[in-house]
Chains A and B, each alone.
Chain A
Amino acid sequence: MADLTKKSLTEIVSLIKKKEIKSEEVTNLFIKNIENDKKLNSFITNSNEHAVKKAKNFDKNPKFDTLLPGIPIAVKDLFCTKGVKTTAGSKMLDNFIPNYESTITKNLWNEGAFLLGKLNCDEYAMGSSNETSFFGNVMNPVAENTVPGGSSGGSASALAADLTPTTIGTDTGGSIRQPASFTGTVGLKPTYGLCSRWGIVAFASSLDQAGPMTKTVEDCALMLEAMAGFDEKDSTSINKKKENYSKNLTSNIKGLKIGIPKEYRVDGMPKEIDKLWENGKKILKESGAEIIDISLPNTKYALPTYYIVAPAEASSNLARYDGVKYGFRSNKGTNLIEMYENTRSEGFGDEVKRRILIGTYVLSSGYYDAYYIKAQKVRQLIKSDFDESFKKVDAILTPSTPSAAFKIGEKKNDPISMYLNDIFTVPVNLAGIPAISIPAGTDNNNYPLGLQLIGKTLDEQKLLNIAFATEKKINFKQNLNRWWEK
């Protein structure tokens, strides 16, 4: 079964359940692929031994009535994993080994999965190209020297390169959907509060949400089912009954109404993206859905709003990394203040510092009302735009990103152009609603492009169904020359 690692998660689960393959074989095949990760740099920590041990245990005493029986999974290095180094892509946590397990990873392990490794990401999830990681750039399997997107860049890269059968990321402004789009994979940002934030290194608490990154929509439904659930340890967690997303998945979307927001047609957007969008509309129509033009008038304010709210929360969330309790501490300085200054100067990278500065500024006395309060008001307007639209439509179709993957270094010194990458993904986080990116085509370079489907609060099932139907008709085929293995 040489091509097993190319198979979907659902297929691998099925093979294990049918006892056609053992967990240990699956695990070893992925570990073999991970040996070729050097050029991709998608892993920060390998958990090979742990994974093989867990796989053997599973095979000795298999339980098949779980969602992820005997499945090895590498996860973004933002999820705290008990006994395994958790860095958040930062020098600040280079030596940090939590003695606790995040709720989301615990949920996965409870469904029969086990840890395969920790995946590279932008430092504290701040970035759109995985170029801000202390552990180096991650390359996109699609093409050498191309970024995988960010911040869940390591996750997207490892998944696309068949180094893990599925993975999880976090999405604060597009950090799951944009890298999914750049790597020809599926990524879902669930409704805020559907997946617990407990044990995930925080970036911006009111926006952060964990979600699955997978090869297929079916896999995505399966993973979400395993991840989602109420957690009393997270006060913003939604208390609702678990849903069987994978069992209820259907491609019958007849009669559903799909909105097309005119504001997502931005100046200078490549023609291929426009074509992709048109194709998406066509496919949905063919599947029996109705296409309706809608307006989300406050879309243009989403990015500036996001770049006030997210840094404000980050500036406070990252105050705990002060060298006192855990993590990196500079040995320079002779008093507390100097220890803080040196620790934080040496421990944080430029992008993190930039956002802490922006966040501190917008919360400062005298600026708070003009920036933070205003941004909160605009955030409400953006949410109202969606609420209004969802009175008319079941879901909204947009491109996932305004471009395909770009070259490493291309935008590194131009933060604004980097931030513009998130222009289609950010409004969803501000509104707290779910959205999924699915691969839908390629650009001139043959780099993947994604389409985004946006749903209303807790309407993940419908969103997955529409994505499932679209995926079938688009029939996107990942075509990698596997340059990193050479």
Chain B
Amino acid sequence: MVGKVMNKEKGKYLIEGEKGKWEVVIGLEVHAQVSSNSKLFSGSSTKFGADPNTQVSLVDSAFPGMLPVINEFCVQQAIKTGLGLNAKINSYSVFDRKNYFYADLPQGYQISQYKNPIVGEGKITLDLPSGTKTIGIERLHLEQDAGKSIHDLDPSNTYVDLNRSGVALMEIVSKPDLSSPDEVNAYIKKLRSIMRYLGTCDGNMQEGSLRADVNVSVRKEGNKELGTRCEIKNVNSIKFMQMAIIYEAQRQVELLESGKSIDQETRLFDTKKNETRSMRSKEDAHDYRYFPDPDLLPLNLNKELIENIKKNLPELPDQKKERFINNYSLTAYEANVLVSEKEISDYFEEVVKTSDIKLAKNWIMGDLFASLNEKNISISQSRVTAKKMSQLIDSISSGVISGRTAKEVFEIMKESGEEPDKIIESKGLQQKSDPKELEKIIEKILTDNKDKVEQYKSGKDKLFGFFVGQVMKISGGKANPQLVNQILKDKLKK
């Protein structure tokens, strides 16, 4: 049996085989749908979830004599993404035809970029428990999506939906720099976050806006040479990517340890059986007969366009993280969590505009995140808006309610979306913060418990908690704790 070990100090993911330890080498080809209202080479809508074949133009369905015309917005989106990946933008790029027959590929070829992609080498920095790691980007190119073949609607026929046909995708190819399922998780999340910050891809994996082909190989620990890789096609969730990698790496280790070799091949991940299986071998690999599409001129980007896009780039996660650390005195970990999604960072910034930073980060990363997880919703779907969160925090800071009462208020807010002030008001949750009123209560308690006061004064410090408890009991939990502490200390000294 082979098992995996995680060397925590080095953050290294290793597979312990019978004959030694193995490293996993992973490269990803992510297909990210470009956020754009219309397709890459036609004016058809790209809206998700429309009835089959209702968003198909003559170009998308490859009628005779139809010609592609490049959607300039998609080109700008690709440039933007390239800049977000710290990558080189190629001023000259070419659209090629990738030729193969399939029922959901109306042209009989996919328009893609082969030798001359629009974006060259770049990099992504990952924040891992073991520190930061830079993952190289090989290239980014634009291409058309195919349609969808539906095989399970009818026992003997296949149905074809061309709504996706021609939708713009960015294929983002990483270098084989990833070495564990956790790094893959971090890479996809970071890439997704960058694109969402940029507004170039919504990153919605359920709707297929982000899919990946996963290249996996293994090698003996410390070995510098790359092993033979297998490509696992079209995996559409991070969880499945991780499962596929774990399975595939183990499979390869077992094969190699039993003296067999790895066939370079394309494999599919069966999510039900949790295994990868061969789709086609290298010998059966398609000869795509790439050649420049004669219907399209090469893309010549002028420097001004690129500079202009660069100038107008929004703040990206890495920059925002730095700023959060510096401006809000957050730890690197806190900053990371808060910038991971643009919506979260926006939420945080709106709250701290008026409210206490420390309380804000604790409340957002604590109770709010817990409620989002519980309801499986995003921060923008939460009924507790940033404005309401601010109000809640402010009422803590100003002593209107205690932190404990605030939790009670939050529980109501997250369900009803009611304003905290109204909840506090209607339920009468305001703290007793009048020193005179509290003094009265405290004096009565001290008088009633003279024996305990004596014991305290003779050194039994723990009794302090008893007195606080009594105050809270009498005040119905509404006494301002700080004030109670202060008055008690004063009175017990005398």
Contacts and interface: CB of A to CB of B under 8 A. Distances in A.
Contacts of A233: 67, 69
Interface in A389-438: none
Interface stretch (B6-14, B97-105, B185-193, B479-487): B97-105
B201 to A, nearest CB: 25
Interface in A172-222: 197-202, 204-206
A80 B69 contact: no
Nearest to B41: A235
A324 B62 CA distance: 11
Contacts of B295: 202, 205, 235-236
Interface in B95-130: 97, 99, 101-103, 106-109
A219 B58 CA distance: 34
B294 A320 contact: no
Interface stretch (A58-66, A137-145, A160-168, A360-368): A360-368
B103 A197 contact: no
B158 A336 contact: yes
B462 interface: no
A79 to B, nearest CB: 8
A372 B291 contact: yes
A484 B321 CA distance: 85
B108 A320 contact: yes
Contact of A363 (B62, B63, B102, B291): B291
Nearest to A231: B67
B289 A363 contact: yes
B97 A86 contact: no
Contacts, number: 94
Interface string A61-98: 00000000000000000001000001010000100101
A324 B160 contact: yes
Contacts of B66: 198-199
A313 B295 CA distance: 10
Given A235-B296, A319-B99, A364 B65 contact: no
B131 to A, nearest CB: 43
Interface string A309-343: 00011011011101011100000000010001000
Contacts of A199: 65-66
Contacts of A368: 289-291
Contacts of A322: 101, 103, 108
Contacts of A313: 294
The main secondary structure of chain A at its interface with chain B is loop
Nearest to A366: B287
Nearest to B61: A325
B297 A236 contact: yes
B70 interface: yes
What class of interface size applies to chain B in its complex with A?
Answer: 20 to 34
A277 B335 CA distance: 82
A100 B101 CA distance: 26
A7 B174 CA distance: 68
A100 B63 contact: yes
B488 to A, nearest CB: 82
A312 B287 CA distance: 14
A324 B146 CA distance: 14
Interface in B143-183: 158, 160
Contacts of B108: 316, 318-320, 322
Interface in B248-301: 287, 289-291, 294-297
A324 B103 CA distance: 7
Nearest to A198: B67
B106 A320 contact: yes
A263 interface: no
A235 B69 contact: yes
B49 interface: no
B64 interface: yes
A94 to B, nearest CB: 13
Nearest to A359: B289
A28 interface: no
A205 B65 CA distance: 10
A80 B294 contact: no
Of the listed residues A234, A318, A319, the one surrounded by the most CB atoms of chain B closer than 10 A to its CB is: A319
Contacts of A363: 99, 289-291
B97 A340 contact: no
Contacts of B68: 235
A93 B63 CA distance: 11
B123 to A, nearest CB: 31
Contacts of A204: 294
8 nearest A-B residue pairs (beta carbon): A319-B108, A205-B294, A363-B289, A206-B294, A199-B65, A320-B62, A201-B64, A365-B287
23 contacts: A80-B65, A86-B64, A93-B64, A98-B64, A100-B58, A198-B67, A205-B294, A205-B295, A235-B68, A236-B294, A236-B297, A316-B108, A316-B109, A316-B289, A319-B101, A319-B107, A319-B109, A324-B103, A325-B62, A336-B158, A340-B101, A360-B289, A365-B289
Interface of B: 58, 61-70, 97, 99, 101-103, 106-109, 158, 160, 287, 289-291, 294-297
Given A233-B69, A320-B62, A363-B290, 4 more contacts: A102-B65, A235-B68, A236-B296, A316-B97
